[in-house]
Amino acid sequence: MQKKKVVLTFPYKLINQPITYHLVKDYDLKVNILRARINPREEGRLMIEISGKEQSLEKGMNYLKELGVETQSLAQDIRWLDEKCTHCTVCIPICPTEAIILDRNQMIVSFDKDKCIGCGLCVPACPYKAVEILF
Amino acid sequence: MPKTIREINEKIKRGEAVVVTAEEIIDIAEEKGVKKAAQEVDVVTTATFGPMCSSGAYLNIGHSKPRIKLGGGRAYLNDVPVYTGFAAVDILIGANALPDDDPRNKIHPGEFSYGGGHVIEDLVAGKDLKLTATAYGTDCYPRKKLETWINIKDLNETVLFNPRNAYQNYNVAVNLSDRVIYTYMGILKPELSNANYCSAGQLSPLLNDPYYKTIGIGTRIFLGGGVGYVAWQGTQHNPTAPRTPNGVPRTGAGTLAVMGDLKKMSPEYLKGTTMTGYGTTLTVGIGIPIPILDEEILTYTTVKDEDIYAQVIDYSQAYPEFKPGSLGEVSYRELKSGRILVQGKEVPTGSLSSYARAKEIADILKNWIKRDKFLLTEPVQSLPSADSGLTFKPLKERPLE
């Protein structure tokens, strides 16, 4: 069982195609939609967590590529700017998945990209704009 | 035998002073006992790094050709209004100043991504700032308009001046209502879902000198990465706040007004800060050395997070409506553990004040004293203490009719 988070960008011509349906039915993949923005006449963006057997994932991702859907790993869309973080810790209770970790001995904050679901709640909470979500 | 600041300074000049941080002194005193520790240790460094809204800077930009009188006119730095009530070319920037009509602040809750605090950070960072000003023109100052880039290196006096900094303790903010609220204590989730505090606790300057026996007007400090001085008591200085038996206030008490040469400071310790839905402010790094003159003073510096208490206050209704009373008292040890108990519920905590940065500043100040011969000063005047009867009064509102 493999799991990954990706951001899909759909060109305008694919807006009407039920791509998520095909990923589930044809490739036996579990799709959890974390965030979606579909605008008529513009491109669509879907942030999903997709899981399944390694082979099915590979086939599913190829299907998307052949269709012309751009895929990008989520880790690249959430940016933790370490040089701006002051380790104040106000974000710690805000993060729903504990992707923001506090070492309570040193009181130092760090970011675990793999746990982040891209909800973006930390972005307005950070007084120093140390987190960016580019969606 | 009690020591004097002069003696301690002589030791500093000889490179022999024993300097430790307010965190290190805790274990040292426990191991050696207060008496021995007071004899051996000369200085304890304290520090804090957090948002301090009552902060600003005044600067003299120098005269233009022909001259302009900004005093009484209007001026902006990077579109943030600055105060022009002082003379021709002296302007004052406040951390909370916001651009007129900033569209980013018009959609709830309001972004507030740039304001006075950010202007100060950009100024100290050596960036060019856009100055735009209008004036009414006089015979001696005929010019009515000025638009120019300015840079800190070209200015005359550039002074950080903060009317209220280094709060001696503060509240713990929670939200009892059913919707998210945006406050100066951060974003507070509904129904007691998070609790925010703001203090360096056992490292905090005034919590290590609770009756202001060593910190007073003229005390030389680390301020914003450079050297500063305590100028006065801060606004809202409240020495008569209720205290625990060892003198530590249970709620916000003393404050300091501080100032220093902005040209020698650093954007690392003076950071423009955004509180979403509330406004902008300035995060300030301060470090204050405490001369260990006798056992009593040493004892105060051994204060631990578990001995310092703060009041849990509801910021959804009680605070805005100025209703007295607290939801309970918690220690900074509990706050730092990540969870406190409020009304029987476990509430996760976050801090607005960076303990890690405070530790860093306490260490830097230690090095300044040991290596760079940073000398301590004798206050020229003490701050009003608990016996002064001074209290922070609310506004006495008197209708105009």
Task: Map out the domains of chain B as residue ranges.
Answer: 5-53+161-384, 59-160
Residue of B nearest to A90 (CA): B350
Task: Check whether residue A23 and residue A46 sit in a common domain.
Answer: yes
pLDDT at residue A95 in the model: 94
Which residues are A3's β-sheet partners? A51
Min distance A101 CA to chain B CA atoms (Å):
11
Indicate yes or no: CB of A93 within 8 angstroms of CB of B359: no
- Residue A127: strand pairing partners: none
Strand pairing class (B195-197; B345-351) = parallel
Q: What is the DSSP code (8-state) at residue B118? A: H
Kindly determine whether residue A129 and residue B49, on different chains, have CB atoms separated by under 8 Å.
no
Nearest to B354 among A88, A124, A129 (CB): A88
Q: Which pLDDT value is given to residue A134?
A: 76
What are the CA-CA distances from residue B335 to residues B182, B348, B349, B361 (Å)? 21, 9, 6, 22
Based on the fold, state whether residues A7 and A70 are members of the same structural domain: yes
Per-residue pLDDT of chain B (401 residues; tens, 9 = 90+): 679 999 999 999 999 999 999 999 999 999 999 999 999 999 999 999 999 999 999 999 999 999 999 999 999 999 999 999 999 999 999 999 999 988 888 888 999 999 999 999 999 999 999 999 999 999 999 999 999 999 999 999 999 999 999 999 999 999 999 999 999 999 999 999 999 999 999 999 999 999 999 999 999 999 999 999 999 999 999 999 999 999 999 999 999 999 999 999 999 999 999 999 999 999 999 999 999 999 999 999 999 999 999 999 999 999 999 999 899 999 999 999 999 999 999 999 999 999 999 999 999 999 999 999 999 999 999 999 999 999 999 999 999 98
B277 CB neighbours in chain A (<8 A) are 124
Packed helices A54-67 and A19-27: angle between N→C axes, nearest 10 degrees: 150
Contacts of A133 (CB under 8 A, 6+ apart): A77, A78, A79, A118, A120, A123
* pLDDT one-digit tens code per residue, A3-26: 888 989 888 888 788 889 999 999
- The torsion of the CA quartet B272, B274, B280, B282, rounded to 10 degrees, works out to -30
Per-residue pLDDT band for A73 (boundaries 50, 70, 90) equals: confident
Instruction: Look at A107 and B356 and tell me if their CB atoms are within 8 Å.
Output: yes
- Cβ contact A94–B355 (<8 Å): no
The answer to whether the CB atoms of A90 and B49 lie below 8 A apart is no
Q: For testing the chain B interface, which of A86, A104, A109 should be mutated: the one with the most B CBs within 10 Å?
A: A86
Same domain, yes or no, for A88 and A57? no
In sequence order, which ranges of B95-227 are alpha helices (DSSP H)? 116-124
Q: Which of B249, B251, B256 is nearest to B300 (CA)?
A: B249
The answer to whether the beta carbons of residues B171 and B250 sit under 8 Å apart is no
Asked if residue B51 has a cis previous peptide bond (ω within 30° of 0), the answer is no
Kindly state whether A127 is in contact with chain B, defined as any CB-CB distance less than 8 angstroms. Answer: yes
**Cross-chain CB nearest to A104 (options B273, B338, B353):** B338
How confident is the model over B22-49, as pLDDT tens digits? 999 999 999 999 999 999 999 999 999 9
Burial of B186 (C-beta count, 10 Å sphere; 0-12/13-18/19+): buried
Question: What residues of chain A, 13 to 32, have a C-beta less than 8 Å from chain B?
Answer: none
Within 8 A of B183 by CB-CB distance, chain A residues are none
Rounded distance, CA B286 to CA B4, Å? 24
Where does a domain end: A33, A58, A74? A74
Contact flag B274-A129 (C-beta cutoff 8 Å): yes
Q: Hey, which residues 33-92 in chain A have their CB within 8 Å of chain B?
A: 86-92
pLDDT tops 70 at residue A75: no
pLDDT for the residue numbered B1: 63
Name the residue facing B271 among A89, A107, A128 (closest C-beta). A128
Residue A135 confidence (pLDDT) above 90? no
Please state, as a whole number, how many other Cβ atoms lie within 10 Å of the Cβ of residue B387.
9
Q: Show the domain range for A88.
A: 78-133
Q: How many residues are listed for chain A in this entry?
A: 135
Say if the Cβ atoms of B351 and A88 lie within 8 Å: yes
Residues above pLDDT 70, as percent of chain A: 97
Which secondary structure element, helix H or strand E, spans residue B135, and what is its range? none
Q: Assess whether A29 and A66 both reside in one domain.
A: yes
Confidence of residue A109 (pLDDT cuts 50, 70, 90): very high
The predicted pLDDT at position A76 comes to 63
- Of B97, B131, B102, B107, the closest CA to residue B272 belongs to B97
Catalytic residue among B1, B107, B140, B356: B140
Question: What CATH number did the domain enclosing A122 receive?
Answer: 3.30.70.20
For chain B, the residues whose C-beta falls within 8 A of a C-beta of chain A are: 49-51, 109, 111, 113, 186-187, 189, 193-196, 271, 273-277, 283, 336-338, 348-357, 359
Q: Which of A74, A107, A124 is the last residue of a domain?
A: A74
pTM: 0.90
Question: Which candidate, B59, B294, B304, places its Cα nearest to that of B204?
Answer: B304
Spatial CA neighbour of A51 closest among A96, A101, A9, A3: A3
CB-side neighbour CA atoms (13 Å) of B346: 4
Q: Are residues A68 and A118 in the same domain?
A: no
Q: Can you say whether residue B237 is alpha, beta or left, with left for phi > 0 and alpha for psi between -120 and 50 degrees? A: beta
Residue A11: predicted pLDDT: 85
In chain A, the number of structural domains is 2
Which residue in B194, B271, B274 is closest to A93 by CB distance?
A: B194
Interface confidence, given as ipTM, is 0.93
> Within a 10 A sphere around the Cβ of A26, how many other Cβ atoms?
12
**A60 and A11 both lie in a single domain:** yes
Of A86, A102, A104, the CB nearest to B283: A86
Query: Which class for B179: exposed (0-12), middle (13-18), buried (19 or more C-beta within 10 A)?
Result: exposed
Whether A70 and A97 have beta carbons less than 8 Å apart is answered as: no
Eight-state DSSP code of residue B107: S
Q: Answer with the one of A74, A102, A122 that is the final residue of a domain.
A: A74
